[in-house]
Structure 1
Amino acid sequence: MPITIDGITPSQQIREQLAAEGKPVLLGFSRGKDSLAAWLAMREAGITVVPYHLYLVPGMRFVDEGLKFYEDFFDTRIVNLPHPTLYRWLNNFVFQPPHRCAIIEAAQLPVPNYEDMAQLVREDFDLPQAWNADGVRAADSPHRRMAMVTHGPSREHLRRVSIVWDWRIADVRAALARHRCPLPPDYQWFGRSFDGLDYRFIKPLMDHAPDDYARLLEWFPLADLEMFRRDLTP
């Protein structure tokens, strides 16, 4: 059963309101359990979903195959764009050898944020005022609950909405089971969706998807130093 917070509109009511408006809603789709639950919840409510995915490393086969699976599962195209974190990693020379730093610096890469990426999707689909949904849940952590209490699930000035904000993990699991929607292999390898360049992600990737590990090293050649750091950590 969803949680309740005094003064905050339940997510079911939010979805009903958006469905009544009859307009498409964007969804930041990470391939994770919460974004899957958000998509399923909106589909149940009759909302047209425009999903977009933000990739951390270009050309990772397990990610691309996952996106293709969910495109077929939902019969919906998923827009695939670079994640703001990719730009940040490159601009900060994360795991880059010295000879690449000058090249990256000369490239003058942009520093977009999440709202910039959502706006690109709006422009691509000619949806200038579309709401941008996410799967953020108050029950996920004390920090997220406090943010929900402070800002609420809907931020009009950003056109951003946490579409299943009051769902517990049991609600997420129930939605996935109800629709027979499987999780991506990330959950077997990492325990969550792929989300970083530290040992928690690097080592399982090396073990389970060596071709993708090699692809990651093409972009971040010194990422294998995570192995040495782990070995040297007491």
Structure 2
Amino acid sequence: MLQNEVRNVGYTKIPTNILFFDRSGQTHEIWYYELPLPEGRKTYTKTKPIQDEDFSECVAWWKNREENGQAYKYNFREAYNQAIKDATPYWDAGKKAEETANQLAKTFKELAEKIQGLQNSILDFSPPKEVAQINSQIQLIRNEVKQAQTEEQSQREIAKDEKAKGDAIYWAIYNLDRKNPNSQQDFEHLPPEQLVADILKKDRRVAEIMEEIQSILGRGNS
């Protein structure tokens, strides 16, 4: 993956990546190459775009890839194996909860059928005493049904949450937005005096842009 930044006409930095795929087998590692700007250049622009020769160092490096200040790699296969290991307990817990919920659903169905059978027996003109006993049984079973329904819903939620936890671990390895570990230019790592200078520089550039816009608007109204 090649990484760099270009600017659009609004002077907004846009991270630009070029992906190269190797379809010869499974992915074991992913290489990154941070393409440096030519000497004296701060950005690529619409009027000064990237040129073929800007890729010369990368092409030479590609033939014998090694990590350096601009090149680094992501051991995808190692991350994949670790993610599977870490996510599996959550997936297993989710699967177990799902199986429990399914069994509770089956129990609920069986209890509902039992209630229906008891209700049908009342229609056979049973004596009042037996009807009372049957109604008492039906109420007890209904309580069991309610309990089974509540527990089933709880297990479904557990299954959903556990699966989500496992998925979050697993799918994270496919995030290819990985910073250069060798780069010392990250804004948060700059010394305070450089941070202040950078902010002032950006403020001055904003002021220049605003003056340019004001000048253009002034010419349009004249």
Q: TM-score, normalised by structure 2?
A: 0.22
Whose Rg is larger? 2
With a CA cutoff of 8 Å and minimum separation of 6, indicate the structure with the bigger relative contact order: 1
Greater helix proportion:
2
TM-score for both structures, normalised by structure 1 = 0.21
